[in-house]
Structure 1
Amino acid sequence: MSAIQDLDNYILLSIKNKMHGYVIDKAMVIITYLGNGGIIWIAISILLMSNEEYRNIGFMTSGTLILSTIIGEGIVKHLVRRIRPCNHLNENKLLISEPKSYSFPSGHTLSSFAVAGVLSVYFAEYSFIFIGIAFLIALSRVYLYVHYPTDVIAGIVLGLLCSKLVFMILQQGCFQKIIVVCN
């Protein structure tokens, strides 16, 4: 486990020493805000729900966001209880407000990849955009020193598993019952 922590720290310090600059600092702050509370994914869900043709996909993305939040923020973070690099290494002045929750997994990353995974199935021609946004949000979390790289990798894996779980639930017909009630 020490080798993984050493690699995490090495990557963080490399980013700190080789990538930071005024423009990219500002860009990463904006990108990470897109993932705060899933705001970009909520906005997309609302847009989809407001269009009758895509309403069910909007409800599905909202459900995916809720499921990923329960799994990441509600369960896994409290089981693992990993301290964030900004608290553990205490070497950097943060460019954003210090997050109060645990570090593992990255909730921003988990929810972004979960929703991007669902949207990519229904809008395959835009999957590069959805996955690209999710990747940039994930990268911003490491860049801003609030997650270790392994937190982000775990968020990607769990997020994609959440999107698969949503499709498994959908195949069982459970999700259609919820959508009918909401419509």
Structure 2
Amino acid sequence: MGILEWIQNIDAQILLFIQQYIRQDMMNWFWKGITFLGDGGWFWIVLGVVLLIPKKTRKSGFTALLALIIGSVITNLVLKTAVARIRPYDAVEGLVPLVKKLGDYSFPSGHTCASFSCAVVYYKMYPDIKGKGAMVLAVLIALSRLYVGVHYSTDVLGGAIVGWLSAILALKISVFTEKKKAAV
């Protein structure tokens, strides 16, 4: 067994463990709601747009939206197509998703990427309770993708890494544009 097959096997076992031992009917609504917050990045887009309105939060809104765009392009236009990993519910026997089956590939998790790209920006710009709250929500959205059975753990890890790197790039671009604007 090669390393990729070994990782695939561990990923499958994690999802089956979650389905068998962690999923509870009374908690399904909670995790479906959390995963809904990440659908299409809508929550993060709305938050970013709202932050564009007041002048004092405009920079954080712009930077988070930029990070979201960078992460979305890398995830959805490059990596998902290049890796072409089949969704777990189509590959793992006995796995039942709690949400509608999706039509795209699995790696990396777009929900997780979008969440971490914005949350890391907010955490860097607001290291108080607001930034920490954004990070907690990003982690919950990432975990929800495992709970509802639509991503492997490595998909979520990959999405978090791409999101984090997208945030770092967006923050650097934001600092660069601020310096350029100040120099003019």
- 2:144 aligns with 140
> Could you tell me how far apart the structure 2 residues matched to 1:167 and 1:93 are?
39
SS of 1:173's partner is: helix
Alignment equivalent of 2:163, drawn from 128, 134, 159: 159
- 1:6 aligns with 9
> Could you tell me how far apart the structure 1 residues matched to 2:93 and 2:102 are?
14
> Could you tell me how far apart the structure 2 residues matched to 1:175 and 1:81 are?
40
**How many percent of aligned residue pairs carry the same amino acid?**
34
Change beyond 3 A, Cα 1:133–1:176? farther
> Could you tell me how far apart the structure 2 residues matched to 1:31 and 1:137 are?
6
Moved over 4 A (4+): 174-177
> Could you tell me how far apart the structure 2 residues matched to 1:154 and 1:144 are?
18
Give the root-mean-square deviation of aligned CA atoms. 1.7
- 1:41 aligns with 44
For normalisation by structure 1, the TM-score amounts to 0.91
> Could you tell me how far apart the structure 1 residues matched to 2:179 and 2:29 are?
40
- Structure 1: gaps spanning 5 or more residues: 178-183
For normalisation by structure 2, the TM-score amounts to 0.90
> Could you tell me how far apart the structure 2 residues matched to 1:101 and 1:142 are?
16
Letter of the 1:121 partner, please give it: K
Within 5 Å, give how 1:59-138 maps onto structure 2: 59-125=62-128, 126-138=130-142
Letter of the 1:146 partner, please give it: V
Deviation at 1:169, TM superposition (A): 2.0
Alignment equivalent of 2:34, drawn from 31, 34, 55: 31
- Structure 2: gaps spanning 5 or more residues: none
Change beyond 3 A, Cα 1:175–1:63? farther
Letter of the 2:167 partner, please give it: S
